[in-house]
Amino acid sequence: MIKHLPFRIFVYSIFISLVFACKNDAKIVQNEYEIASDTINFQWQKLKQGGFTINHGAILIPVKLEGIDKTFKMQLDLGIDHNVIYGDTLRAITSAYPALQNNIQHREGYDVFYNQIHFGNQQPIAQDSLMVQKNFGKSENLKDFDIIGTLGANEIKNKILLIDFKSQQLVITEKLEDWEADSFSYTPLRFKNNQLYLDLIANGSKNAVVYNTQASMFPLATIDADLFKSITEENNTEIKKLKSWGEEISFTGSNIITKIRIADVNLPINNKKAFFTEAEKVSKTLKSENLKAVIGSDLFMNNTIVIDLVNNRFGIK
């Protein structure tokens, strides 16, 4: 049960998140998942900001609400610690299904909607309570929209999340078979403030970064000038100005030309850019956690990753 409001939205969201809106029998065979009962197929949501498009903006997972014969989608955002349903969207749902109005309970300053939600593979999600984010989402006819909310880090706490980016499939489990686990290269993982902290290797040195499955504006964004200079072209830079929480922030970007890796796996850098900012709000927040950069899913499009919150490790292959 959700006891506390509000969402803990950190300044990492300047880089990480742009919000628009189980039992395991799956196996990995030759770098691909077999289609099993607990395999979840996901889609990408494109995001647009500042005149450019982010193709891999947000992971959308199919879900079904109890009592409604329609498949919806929810974003996977490990940067929040609970599940959310958009308030305007919920109003459209309860207009079409008035009985569900009884599932809303009022708390001091916020509402909670109770419903047993299932993933697209029919497995129930961990929590049956969704915090209502007021004045957000769509309120048109139910048939005209499908994204209804966000799934948070509570879905994978003390569990293991595998994401096969090539196949656009994921699995949530409690244990890996030995041969599965041995197929990954690992680096230590810290899970703090609902953020995933790990090391990125560049020029032989470790750089503490934060990764989130939710949207990242850039493949890599850093507050460390030395790191930026060491991995990018000295010339051919570009400037992006984006707004976050009403403040315009300037980023300097350039092509990544130096190999970067996680554990022992080199990441794809062709046509990938890194961006640097000196914005005080961003720098102060990241420096407070001794972080140098934020990375997004765009760096993993050729890989399968494992976010292992049982053994506190991040795996990649």
| Short-list 165, 124, 229, 190, CA closest to 32 | 165
Looking at residue 34, its pLDDT comes to: 42
DSSP string, the chain: -----S----GGGGTS-----------EETTEE---TT-EE-EEEEEEETTEEEEEEEEEEEEEETT--SEEEEEE-TTSSS-EEEHHHHHHHHHHSGGGGGGEEEETTEEEEE--EEETTSPBPS-SEEEEETT-S--S-GGG--EEEEE-GGGTTTSEEEEETTTTEEEEES---HHHHTTSEEEE-EEETTEEEEEEEETTEEEEEEE-SS--SSSEEES-HHHHHHHB-SS--EEEEEEETTEEEEEEEEEB-S-EEETTEEPP-TT-EEEE---HHHHHHHHTTT--EEE-GGGGTT-EEEEETTTTEEEE-
**What type of residue is 310?**
V
Regions of the chain with pLDDT less than 50: 1-36
pTM: 0.84
Beta strand 205-211 pairing with 293-295:
parallel
- How far apart (Å, rounded) are the C-alpha atoms in residues 43 and 29? 22
User: Given this model, what pLDDT does residue 246 score?
Assistant: 66
Query: Which CATH class name applies to 29-155?
Result: mainly beta
| Res 231: pLDDT | 95
Q: Report CA torsion sign: 27, 262, 200, 164.
A: negative
Residue whose entry in the numeric block shows the structure tokens 């609970």: 82
Q: Residue 271, exposed/middle/buried by CB under 10 A (0-12, 13-18, 19+)? A: exposed
Q: Where are the domains of the chain?
A: 29-155, 176-316
Examine domains 29-155 and 176-316 and report if their fold is the same.
Answer: yes
How many residues are listed for the chain in this entry? 317
312 contacts 39 by C-beta, under 8 angstroms: no
Q: What local confidence, expressed as pLDDT, does residue 314 receive? A: 97
Question: pLDDT digits over 4-58, tens only?
Answer: 333 333 333 434 443 222 323 333 333 443 434 578 999 998 877 667 777 888 8
CATH fold of the domain at 176-316:
Cathepsin D, subunit A; domain 1 (2.40.70)
